[in-house]
Amino acid sequence: MSPRQRNHFESALEFVDPEIAALVASESLRQSQRLELIASENYVSAAQLEVSGSILGNTTVEGYPGARFHGPSPNADAIEQLAIARACALFNARFANVQPHSGTQANQAIFLALLRPGDTVLAMKLSAGGHFSHGEASNLSGQWFNAVHYGVRMPEGLIDYDDVERQAFQFKPKLIIAGATAYPRAIDFERFAAIARSVNAHLMVDIAHVAGLVAAGLFPHPFPHADIITSTTYKNFRGVRGGFILSNDLALAMRIDAAVCPGLQGTPLVQLMAAKAVSFHEALQPGYLRYSAQVLANARALGAALTKQGIVLVTGGTDTPFVVADLRPLAIDGAAATRRLDTLGIGANKILLPSDPEDFSQSTGLRLGVSAITTRGMGEAECGEVADIVAAALRTAGDPDAQANTVLTRRVAQLCARFPLYGGHLPP
């Protein structure tokens, strides 16, 4: 073997590309020292990290197990079949597609499978907590399809099912979408299904932010009411970055498969399908139920403690892994709040409130999620401490005091130090 070849097959990243290696190390440190309350964030297991960076990344397949475009691929087929079987077992579904590279692509595959350009879709609006891949003007789903949106009823902030029904009758959508990014309450999927059936529409439920709770039986299950479930594997579910789709009807499942590949994607990422399989396996273990129950308990503890500190929550509480704070009484907006928390080592993101215009730059809400800190091992007591820190930071956002900031920063650092990531051994 020539030195050059040895170099290609054996040299470590730190020798080949010190710049990227340094950034990975820096990100590793950042994650370990940051109190992460962004609801989309979580920490995958060491086993998932291992398989995500494995030799499976070299494997090129296209199509589905047993029917690959490039000929037989026994290991990739077995991996994808395991991922599918585990996803079906976990979510009580007959069919699963584990190839979508992301949640947005899973959703786009459903649009491609069921609609023609110009067809009507009814989904939740952004300011009520919806996701941009559900027909927002900035996304392909809103540019190529006719999207109409339902909202929430104020002042309670709960989904206005009568409005969903009214709009369904008025606009006759072919697809109705339930599920959200920042709606903190349980959703009545049976009611959605009745509305969808009455206008002959398909019902798709996107569970990206509650997939772990659904799997654990701690959030209403979209099946048997929905025709399709889409989700991300990361966020609350605690898997690698990616998406998946579930359904129960063979003809529908075949349309979905064709829409994912070759409709929308080419080769799937075999190493990430394998890591998804590991994440489904982990979610089938008893420990996952404990994790999910703790996520829900932590979210409610965080909400109760924030309320006690005088922070107003949208809907007054939560049934999900996050709470949504209304910043208007504090006279700061979402951008100022996230900047303030970031300087103290806390991650959180701004979110639109139902009263905001449909423009993210004018957000007056703040979403605080507990999936990641629960993975670190934090419980309800720590969520009380988190609420104290966050409330103090938000109250003093307009007039921060250097000494108080030092104290808050130290409290954040102490929490992170008490709950190390990856056993304190920062992975490469």
Q: Is 362 in the site for ligand PLP (CB under 6 A)?
A: no
Instruction: Find the largest Cα–Cα distance for the chain.
Output: 72
Token pair recorded at residue 396: 């003093």
Instruction: Name the residue nearer to ligand PLP (CB basis): 73 or 232.
Output: 232
Stretch that binds ligand PLP, among 98-106, 138-146, 286-294, 319-327 (CB under 6 A): 98-106
Q: Is 99 in the site for ligand PLP (CB under 6 A)?
A: no
Q: Are 364 and 333 in contact (CB under 8 A)?
A: yes
Q: Are 408 and 389 in contact (CB under 8 A)?
A: yes
Give the one residue of 99, 104, 139, 292 binding ligand PLP; rule: CB under 6 A: 104
**Residues 221-280 close enough to bind ligand PLP by CB under 6 A:** 232, 243
Beta carbon of residue 385, minimum distance to ligand PLP (angstroms, whole number): 27
Beta carbon of residue 234, minimum distance to ligand PLP (angstroms, whole number): 7
Q: Is 41 in the site for ligand PLP (CB under 6 A)?
A: no
Q: Which amino acid does the sequence have at 105?
A: Q
Determine the Cα–Cα distance for residues 21 and 19; give it in Å rounded to an integer: 5
Beta carbon of residue 132, minimum distance to ligand PLP (angstroms, whole number): 8
Beta carbon of residue 83, minimum distance to ligand PLP (angstroms, whole number): 17
Determine the Cα–Cα distance for residues 243 and 376; give it in Å rounded to an integer: 24
* DSSP class per residue in 321-388: SEEEEE-GGGT--HHHHHHHHHHTTEE-EEE--TTS-S-GGG--EEEEE-HHHHHHT--HHHHHHHHH
Which H helix or E strand runs over 411? helix 402-418
Q: Is 206 in the site for ligand PLP (CB under 6 A)?
A: yes
Q: Is 42 in the site for ligand PLP (CB under 6 A)?
A: no
Beta carbon of residue 310, minimum distance to ligand PLP (angstroms, whole number): 29
Determine the Cα–Cα distance for residues 26 and 33; give it in Å rounded to an integer: 11
Stretch that binds ligand PLP, among 43-51, 103-111, 143-151, 327-335 (CB under 6 A): 103-111
**Residues 164-203 close enough to bind ligand PLP by CB under 6 A:** 179-181
Instruction: Name the residue nearer to ligand PLP (CB basis): 179 or 268.
Output: 179
Closest CA to 78 of 90, 61, 57: 61
Binding site for ligand PLP (CB under 6 A): 40, 102-104, 107, 131, 133, 179-181, 206, 208-209, 232, 243
